[in-house]
Structure 1
């Protein structure tokens, strides 16, 4: 039986105070996500895709490059326009950044987390608005669920870790006919009783 090629582990960058401040801008976060999900692009292509000016996307691409989030993709360019690609597959947020001594770092952490939550909401709204155009199989293959559990902080951390392990185990599946890019969002947070 032939061996299935092993899927490489995703390259994930853990944010530190400096890189967080370089990324914590709504357009930069959206541009980085667009490059990760849509592949390499030029500043003009990103501007069109995101409804921005190419001057703004050019500037913010240079800022992302200065902080190591994007890099040149010369294999895609044949003209004068510069092509860019994401330097990593994902970003890991270190919760210590929310409690940093520097108010600028704490502000950047707050902006970053709120922008991620906004993106998740937008992606969900887009799915709901377009679900009718997908097959019944794909509508059955989608989910909007919420659960309320009584957990300790340690149990919640354990559950999150197990969910991440399960999701990541699907990265190793060989490409299948009919496969689509599927977004998985997880949110786990404590709330006070009502």
Structure 2
């Protein structure tokens, strides 16, 4: 009788155990495409360094298409978490000539614009297509975050917002969803970012 009860208990445990044997463990969610509420904070480690408005784009009339593409990937994430890889992420990276394993926020933005097709233009009139977020600050027109925070300028929907680490080439980039971004805070959609609930 004892062995029959033991066997039955083991069978129940096997049938109802969570898949993968991760009982009591929560899988860490990877960096992905998320909508965020962002604010201009000059004292931050990575402050906003500027905005690139649609008037800097080759085809500003196609911005809604680019935003539709960007929003269609909402919730897409790295696989496995923390890898900068996965089928969707590698699709973004391929749009800037890279394979998996690289930071991909700018590749996500570039991919979204290419589906527009919309191209941010440099001061020389050359299309900007880059995996480097701060490269987009070479656009023919940018908006200062100081002017935005002071209420002197609104940021149009579909603009790019660029962050930068002080004294470094590294940065981050997203697309403005607010219509428009007015004052210190606005709404964005970004790739290669943590879910909103994981923000500190």
Q: Which TM-score tier does this pair reach, normalised by the shorter chain? A: under 0.3
- Report 1 or 2 for greater relative contact order, CA contacts < 8 Å, sequence distance ≥ 6: 2
Query: TM-score normalized by structure 2?
Result: 0.23
Larger proportion of helix: 1
Larger proportion of strand: 2
